[in-house]
Structure 1
């Protein structure tokens, strides 16, 4: 059995995320992340390879946390309720993990990384997104009778674009309005119900 890691990966990624959100991506150097997290520079290089590795891991961790909630919410058998639950999950994610939400809302991987994302990153991102895309595809097929480009776009407006726009509007508020999840849920339900064949 391997000994426990002395410096928690989550502490390191939290420090990187905080530096990026507070001072911008350029502030998140390996030395700055090491200082903020208390982990030695060598630990960061050993665990993540380089600065890009740390920031990629922080961004992908935020995405994974969001997707876990969205996919679990969308497991309902009724397509309208599945879509509504996925839309609501976005607001709940931002309420529970506001720093992760800010990272995903405000920064693309290309904003964070020196040289931009590589092929391995894109492959991993496609793999991570596949279950969410599959669920949106299922909702489209159930409600609209097809899962082509137009149908996927229609479902994405209700399930992805509405929550994203609402969160962007309130991104710099100290706290999300308590009514936002209920209002968004009602709007998503109205739109998705209108799609029923």
Structure 2
């Protein structure tokens, strides 16, 4: 077949870049240069296509995240990935994982449910390495430090140039959060 799943996903990514989350199959078709029938041959619905695109972007993001050797590099990966892969970064904002678990087409739900398993395992590993334990409170602190804090700092810049200083700010905030976990609360 002339139009592969990847070529359609690539066209969908370009369409999302131009039109945002309200992108239509017709706009995707234009980007791909394929008739809508070719798209529906590979993907049964617009939601199916966009969720597959989202899953691909998450997998691409995980490559560098999982390869990061320590807490600082893990934190820094978020702004760097978003800067170096702006379309994938935009695609990753199409859905909230928690919402998608409940709303994805049945045949995609298991994949959606487990897409972040390796990232959560890395978080537990970093927690064990840094604190010497994986208590729920410290895993939650590490999750906040290496995922939610960097994401909240970079989110406002997605779709525009991400300033270089954000990398250092992200690492500083991450390290402050994890260091605060070494001190028992009063």
Select which of 9, 15, 18 maps to 2:14: 18
TM norm structure 2? 0.82
Q: Which string of whole-angstrom CA distances, capped at 9 and with x for unpartnered residues, describes residues 152-180 of structure 1? A: 210011100111111123235x3111111
Structure 1: 4+ residue segments shifted above 6 A: 109-112
Given that residues 88 and 181 in structure 1 are in contact (C-alpha distance below 8 angstroms), is that contact kept between their aligned partners in structure 2? Answer: yes
Give distance in 2, aligned partners of 1:83 and 1:170.
22
Counterpart for residue 122 of structure 2:
135
Match of 2:85 in 1: 97
- Conservation of the 8 A alpha-carbon contact between 1:109 and 1:116: no
Aligned length: 182
For normalisation by structure 1, the TM-score amounts to 0.78
**Match of 1:146?**
133
Q: Note the C-alpha offset of 1:44.
A: 1.4
Per-residue deviation at 1:42?
Answer: 2.8
Task: Name the residue aligned to 1:123.
Answer: 110
Deviation at 1:194, TM superposition (A): 4.1
Match of 1:176 among 137, 162, 165: 162
Q: Distance in 1 between the 2:119 and 2:169 partners?
A: 23
C-alpha contact 2:48 2:105 (8 A) present in aligned 1: no
Instruction: Tell me what 1:79 maps to.
Output: none
Report the equivalent of 2:76. 88
Cα root mean square deviation, aligned = 2.7
In the alignment, which residue of structure 2 is the partner of 1:49? 44
Residue of structure 2 equivalent to 1:32: 27
| Offset of residue 52 of structure 1 | 2.2
Which ranges of structure 2 fall in alignment gaps of 5 or more residues? none
Aligned to 1:191: 177
Q: CA deviation at 1:68?
A: 1.2
**What is the aligned partner in structure 1 of residue 150 from structure 2?**
163
